[in-house]
Amino acid sequence: MTVNKKQQVLHARRRMEIIIGSMTLGLFMLLIRAVDLHILQGDELKERAYKQHFHQYDVVAPRGAIHDRHGRILSKSIEVPSITALASEIPEKDLPKLAQALKISLSKLQSKIKNRHGFTWLARQVSPAIAERVAALNIPGVHQESEWRRYHPLGPETGHFLGFVGIDGQGLEGIERSMNQHLQGKLGTRLMQRDARGHSLPDGVWLQQPRIGKALTLTIDSNIQSIAYAALSEGIRKQRAKSGSVVVMNPHNGDILAMASWPSFNPNSFSRYRPSQWRNRAITDIFEPGSTMKAFTVASALESKNWQADSLIFCEQGSFRVANYIIHDDHPEGWLDLTGIIAQSSNIGAAKLAINIGARQLQQHLSSFGFGEKTGIDLGGESAGILLPTRKWGIVETANIAFGQGIATTPLQLAAAFSILANHGIKQAPHLVLPNETIPSEALKRVPSGERVISKKTSDSITQMLIAATAKNATGWRAVPAGYHVAGKTGTAQKANNYGGYAKNKYTAVFAGFAPAEAPEIVIVVVIDEPQQSIYGGTVAAPIFRNIAATTLPYLGALPETQTASWQTQRVATSLTQPPIAGMVGNFSHLSLRQAYQQADQQGYTLRSHGSGWVTKQSPAPLVALSNGSEVEVWLNE
């Protein structure tokens, strides 16, 4: 019995030791597991738990507005709905009606939520109608968020220099891209919470509110922009041309008042256009400037001190051999002074001047005018043009460059160069952005201005020569609006081909100049690519210049020297004596542009104009009720 008891006690002790050992091992394993979960995997598990109960996502902030020089909106951000979802919460049975409400195929909707359990975008920046249809379905897991979409009120008129913004709020072209850092707001962060079953709770909270971007003011005048765009598109239509561009610039400070290209595109729906249609031809496309270059060749000759305005050159009766190359003039001439070379557009006279002053001096002067280098405009994608180094100039190249062959420029470069002539020989770098309280002038990277390129005496002489080039017996007479003097030059250049020669029957027609000639307010450059009705700058580009100048100059306060007493004047006087009824649109018919702006201002309306001459059509019609500050649109014809 005693032995048995001892054995029982021994067995009991062993069992106890085994139990205690097992418990100790279990506790030790629990301790290890606790250390693993709380210390080694703690951060990962916390993050996983957070993701199961919360979801945070970025919200794009509204971009700063873009205004014209008078504070009119050119680009702004508008709030639009977007449809989001927590994919795992959407019942399978609701997918067909959700796809129908979103106006997408069921397969496309399924691909958006396939293998996804958390937050996803179903449709971004949708119309209010689609948002209302989706909300009415009240499908679990489907929500509506607000985003910001860019809107450009003037559409195609401003598409090329404003550019556009992608769906994520990034500027992709134009000013929207080049000034993206300034315009772009600061992202916001929103938090969405789920319950214990994983279902999202209504409403979210802001961890960080989006911060709106900074506003931008451009040098553009939206009225002049509309005038230039309308004149350009109408001129291209008449000539059945391939494309064209216009630049309107203030020569005294470098402000770009208008920059238009055609064909244009609507930045509000940019994805419907080819990328080739997005480019701003006024700064990207280069062309041989043709006879417009003669103004700078003559300026270089005057600056050389070897030539005076009344110096005579024999123009060889229309045919002149340079090495093995024959230079021709359209109209055979004998002796011409420097004014005659520009007025009669003599290739031979310009070539002889260039050969006399030499390649090096001509190249230096052309470079100082800005040819062969970027202007530094506040836009990306600008071309530097082509001005070869003098080591590549032979006597033939020197002669050709004198009348605009073998050199290439952009419309903006040519406008900047003519602005030097209009500004008494002083260069002002062109720019699009005006300093304001949010972007001081020192924050803008500007090309230095104020450099004297030619003497005032030379610029005054060239101005008189360019006035002669627009006289009735000269090539540019069609550029002159009634009551004004214009200093300008036509250009007709055969287009280069891809084989080192020139394409047959493909030309660029150009007119560049400034007005009023005696006290310039604006420089205008018109470039038309491959016109079909005529090839000459004097018949293709000059009338477009005239239409822009005839409307813009009175708008800027530069009145014509004489007012013709005609039936239009009499009918204008009649219409102005009839006071408009309060709260109703007055009759703008037969008013000049200046008078139309005066009447619109008196009535408290904003005026948008198209064309030049006298008002022939308006919208809304007279005596229609219209609130203060609304827009009236008028069309003018000569």
Taking the C-alpha atoms of residue 282 and residue 447, their distance in angstroms, rounded to an integer, is 19
Our answer to whether residue 291 is catalytic in this structure is yes
Mention every residue, 6+ apart, whose C-beta is less than 8 A from residue 393: 359, 363, 401
3-state secondary structure labels for all residues of 296-355: HHHHHHHHCCCCCCCCEEECHHHEEEECCEEEECCCCCCEEEHHHHHHCCCHHHHHHHHH
Taking the C-alpha atoms of residue 239 and residue 541, their distance in angstroms, rounded to an integer, is 10
CA 438, 444, 450 angle in degrees (round to 5)? 130
Helix axis angle for 222-239 and 542-555, nearest 10°, is: 160
Quote the radius of gyration of the chain (alpha carbons, Å): 36
Taking the C-alpha atoms of residue 268 and residue 223, their distance in angstroms, rounded to an integer, is 20
In this structure, are residues 188 and 52 in contact, taking their beta carbons and an 8 Å threshold? no
The pair of three-digit structure tokens given for residue 598, joined into one six-digit string: 């005066």
The pair of three-digit structure tokens given for residue 92, joined into one six-digit string: 């399978």
Provide the residue type at 235 as one letter. Answer: G
**Tokens 């553009």 -> residue:** 220
Closest CA to 420 of 514, 485, 510: 514
In this structure, are residues 331 and 344 in contact, taking their beta carbons and an 8 Å threshold? yes
Catalytic annotation, pick one of 77, 226, 261, 291: 291
Which residues carry out catalysis?
291
